[in-house]
């Protein structure tokens, strides 16, 4: 039975044990630990020390609310956010323009993830960046085949396993890092230091509250549960809140650790605003084992996140253009821009950070419709947002849009 048919007839499967309801948020949460996050947080720590700790925490708190709303939309409608928007945007031109910006965001995401995998393979095995990028794409295809043939549960299990590798790889060094507790606490005070810190703040936000994760989570919930019957919805929504909390707690902790580790070991060291430079500096400061674990975490990050990104991109196309192309063919097509960047010799870490800024500008296009739809009783019935939930989500959207406007103004002025 197709997903659409399941949505019309009710839940895809009766909800089982509580723990068995967990999983979709873990997959979506990989988006918050992709190589773009690593590059943004490592660069922020190396250049500005503990200054932007507050941005990481605020972005992750915002991401919790956003991902919960996305999952709730999928559970309450049996459809994804792109699918609903594709139906509501009646004019073909409006639908195509919305798809174009969403597609560009998905491509920016894919560039970051493939570049991260390529850098990790070069650090671990000395492979040329282009070869590493191609191998990252091939492995992501294998994971997508697993999703197509074995279903969402097997895909979730593999991605969660990679998530564990990511967490261990990036957190190992914090045990030996010489943290400055007073400065770390000072990093909780919201402030900036020039245009460069605003640029990195936007990059961190774009890497954390990722548009493709907003699109993907509603689809992941739909694929797992279909349209959840009203009498089961409260229980599934409770499980979803737990799922999102665990996923974002893991992602937020790892992101803060990356920034703290960089602030403690990379600040003031030449060349540490790139991932290869950070890898070498971590090795010099904390030893080759910690540096190797860092590179392994980066590799797992690239492999897991590029698979989720390809899944989100396919959903964006299917929902907004109401057309599907084979997922593996799409994977090949979207791999090309990243390989071109590598062939042209563009600094991959710089490209990673800029890709996250591009994601930041795509956030309002995903977030504003999500907030509006989840506030509508005619869309979600009794599961529609309470007024305070809508108010908090609207405030988050305004803050994110304001950060983007400030970034644009400071960049032009600079």
The mean-pLDDT minimum among 86-100, 286-300, 349-363 falls in 349-363
pTM: 0.86
Inter-residue contact 74 to 312 (CB < 8 Å): no
Q: 140: Cβ–Cβ under 8 A, 6 or more apart, which residues? A: 303, 306, 307, 310, 331
Report how far apart, in Å, the C-alpha atoms of 112 and of each of 102, 172, 182, 340, 361 are: 16, 23, 33, 13, 15
Q: Please write the tens of the pLDDT for every residue from 16-29.
A: 566 667 778 888 88
Q: Please write the tens of the pLDDT for every residue from 292-330.
A: 999 999 999 988 888 888 888 888 988 998 777 777 777
Average pLDDT, integer, range 375-404: 88
How far apart CA 129 and CA 263 sit, in angstroms, is 27
Residue 10: is it exposed, middle or buried by C-beta count within 10 angstroms (0-12/13-18/19+)? middle
Q: 238: Cβ–Cβ under 8 A, 6 or more apart, which residues? A: none
How far apart CA 323 and CA 144 sit, in angstroms, is 19
User: What is the four-CA torsion angle of 185, 186, 191, 195, rounded to 10 degrees?
Assistant: -100
Average pLDDT, integer, range 388-406: 84
- The structural domains of the chain, ordered by start, are 3-413 (1.20.1740.10)
Inter-residue contact 337 to 182 (CB < 8 Å): no
Inter-residue contact 306 to 137 (CB < 8 Å): yes
Q: What is the pLDDT of residue 184?
A: 92
Average pLDDT, integer, range 185-196: 90
Q: What is the pLDDT of residue 11?
A: 44
């Amino acid at each position: 039975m197709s997903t659409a048919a399941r949505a019309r007839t009710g839940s895809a499967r009766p909800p089982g044990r509580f723990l068995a309801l967990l999983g979709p948020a873990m997959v979506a949460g990989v988006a918050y630990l992709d190589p773009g996050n690593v590059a943004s947080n490592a660069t922020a720590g190396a250049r500005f020390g503990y200054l932007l700790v507050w941005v990481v925490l605020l972005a992750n708190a915002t991401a919790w609310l956003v991902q919960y709303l996305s999952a709730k939309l999928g559970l309450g409608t049996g459809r994804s956010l792109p699918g609903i928007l594709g139906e509501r945007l009646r004019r073909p031109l409006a639908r195509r323009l919305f798809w174009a910006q969403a597609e560009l965001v998905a491509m920016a995401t894919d560039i970051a993830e493939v570049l991260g995998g390529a850098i990790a393979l070069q650090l671990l095995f000395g492979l040329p960046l282009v070869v590493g990028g191609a191998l990252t794409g091939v492995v992501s295809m294998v994971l997508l085949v697993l999703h197509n043939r074995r279903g969402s549960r097997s895909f979730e299990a593999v991605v969660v396993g990679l998530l564990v590798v990511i967490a261990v790889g990036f957190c190992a060094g914090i045990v030996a890092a010489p943290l400055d507790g007073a400065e770390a606490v000072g990093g909780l005070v919201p402030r900036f230091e020039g245009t460069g810190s605003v640029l990195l703040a936007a990059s961190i936000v774009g890497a954390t509250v990722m548009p493709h994760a907003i699109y993907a989570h509603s689809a992941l919930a739909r694929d797992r549960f279909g349209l959840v019957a009203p009498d089961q919805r409260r229980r599934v929504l409770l499980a979803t809140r737990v799922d999102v909390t665990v996923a974002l707690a893991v992602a937020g902790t790892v992101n803060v650790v990356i920034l703290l580790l960089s602030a403690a070991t990379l600040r003031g060291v030449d060349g540490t605003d790139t991932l290869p430079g950070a890898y070498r500096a971590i090795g010099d400061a904390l030893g080759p084992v910690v540096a190797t674990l860092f590179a392994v975490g980066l590799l797992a990050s690239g492999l897991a996140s590029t698979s989720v990104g390809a899944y989100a991109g396919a959903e964006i196309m299917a929902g907004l253009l109401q057309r599907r192309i084979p997922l593996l063919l799409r994977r090949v097509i979207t791999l090309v821009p990243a390989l071109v960047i590598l062939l042209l010799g563009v600094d991959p870490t710089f490209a990673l950070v800029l890709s996250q800024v591009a994601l930041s500008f795509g956030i309002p296009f995903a977030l504003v419709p999500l907030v509006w739809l989840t506030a509508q009783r005619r869309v979600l019935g009794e599961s529609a947002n309470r007024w305070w939930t809508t108010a908090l989500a609207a405030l988050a959207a305004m803050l994110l849009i304001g950060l983007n406007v400030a970034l644009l103004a400071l960049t032009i002025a600079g």
